[in-house]
């Protein structure tokens, strides 16, 4: 069997030098955006609005309120595309709104860059 190595306790000076730079909020120390990130927020709002539009049109087509040749299954594609654009748009718009509002724990750094 292999012999286990012996470990020494850290001295108090080593312990304080490693922990004094530790920050429990990782987004507070990282500064990717130096202000309001215009492009990611505009993309988030665009995705959110397109998702709402496509979902609404898909649901209306599926329910027969919009005539599309008598086939109600044509709305499934729009519902799928609406979900595909609505979910990331809502997620990123919510982060931007909570950051703008000043809610603790939210930062513009949480929005992915383009």
In a domain, residue 2? The reply is no
In a domain, residue 31? The reply is no
**What is the phi-psi region of residue 89: left when phi exceeds 0, alpha when psi lies from -120 to 50, beta otherwise?**
alpha
In a domain, residue 53? The reply is yes
pLDDT at 90: 95
In a domain, residue 27? The reply is no
pLDDT at 30: 47
Distances (CA, A) of 8 to 5, 13, 17, 60, 86: 10, 14, 17, 70, 54
In a domain, residue 51? The reply is yes
In a domain, residue 82? The reply is yes
Distances (CA, A) of 111 to 16, 47, 51, 88: 33, 14, 18, 10
Q: Show the domain range for 103.
A: 36-110
Q: Which residues of the chain have pLDDT under 70?
A: 1-3, 5, 8-34, 70, 114
In a domain, residue 73? The reply is yes
Residues in contact with 66: Cβ distance below 8 Å, sequence separation at least 6, in sequence order? 57, 60
pLDDT at 71: 74
pTM: 0.65
Other C-beta atoms closer than 10 Å to the C-beta of 65 total 10
- Phi/psi of residue 23, each to 5°? -125, 125
In a domain, residue 1? The reply is no
Report how many domains make up the chain.
1
Tracing tokens 């027969």 back to the chain, one arrives at: 64
pLDDT at 84: 96
Geometric angle at alpha carbon 69, from 66 and 73, rounded to 5°: 75
């Amino acid at each position: 069997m292999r012999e286990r190595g012996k470990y020494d306790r850290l001295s108090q000076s080593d312990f304080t030098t490693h922990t004094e730079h530790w920050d429990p909020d990782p987004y507070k120390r990282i500064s990717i955006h130096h202000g309001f990130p215009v492009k990611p927020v505009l993309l988030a709002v665009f995705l959110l609005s397109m998702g709402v539009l496509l979902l609404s049109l898909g649901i209306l087509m599926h329910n027969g309120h919009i005539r599309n040749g008598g086939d109600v299954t044509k709305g499934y594609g729009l519902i799928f595309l609406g979900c595909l654009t609505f979910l990331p748009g809502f997620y990123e718009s919510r982060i931007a709104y909570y950051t703008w509002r000043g809610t603790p724990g939210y930062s513009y750094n949480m929005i992915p860059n383009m």
